[in-house]
Amino acid sequence: MTAATRLISRLTLVTGKYMQWIGRAVCQRLASEGASVVVADISEESANETMVGLQNDLRGQGHMAAVVDVSSKESVKKLVTRIQPPSVCVNAAGITQDHFLLNMEEDHFDRVIQVNLKGSFLITQAVAQALVACGAPKGSIITVGSIVGKVGNLGQVNYAASKAGVEGLTKTAVWDSCNCVLPGFISTPMTEKVPEKVIDKSLVPLGRMGEPEVADVCVFLSSDDSRYITGSSIEVTGKL
């Protein structure tokens, strides 16, 4: 099978929060390799907008948009039971609600944990249960963490804690193929909110903010090329 069609006939589920940049790029790259993509977002408009832009001319392809609140077990269960068990799942839903530790509101801390960490848990659990129940021979679950979960970042105690948890969750799950991607500072609407003084590009040897190259790593981890990799964290940070 050529690299361009590594995911022919595979159903993939991608979750996002107002699907932009990383989540959307992941959907596009998966579709370009032949996958059928379920675009799951809390915003129906955003999910549909992503879906209509996906390549759909490869054998057996068929995409769909779905609404899901990843922080709700009921919503996640409804989504997973609605579709066939996906052989690939990418947890890309995430939010930020930044503030300094001394001034952070408890509900801002809780909401970030609910979406980023609890959401990854609920999606990972539901997909793994569905695959086991149907006797699927294999499956690939990918979580999107952050380098901030390893090194911390000013004003992001909630986000850093949630993403550290996502990495720990992934390493502990190790179900068939379960891996975590750790983006650095990627050019997204989320990082546009981060003050310039916080993002020191001099710390990045490649000398630039990342583009959604994270999607390329997700495709690799979704394919048989990564069949001997599980429980791993792969940094996409522009660092040596």
Give catalytic residue positions. 159
Q: How many CB atoms lie within 10 A of CB 210?
A: 19
Residue type, 197: K
Q: Are 177 and 226 in contact (CB under 8 A)?
A: yes
Query: In a 10 Å sphere around its CB, with 0-12 CB exposed, 13-18 middle and 19+ buried, how is residue 72 labelled?
Result: middle
Rounded to whole angstroms, how far apart are CA atoms 173 and 170?
5
- DSSP run (H or E) holding 166: helix 157-173
List residues bridging with 91 in a β-sheet: 15, 143
Rounded to whole angstroms, how far apart are CA atoms 27 and 149?
24
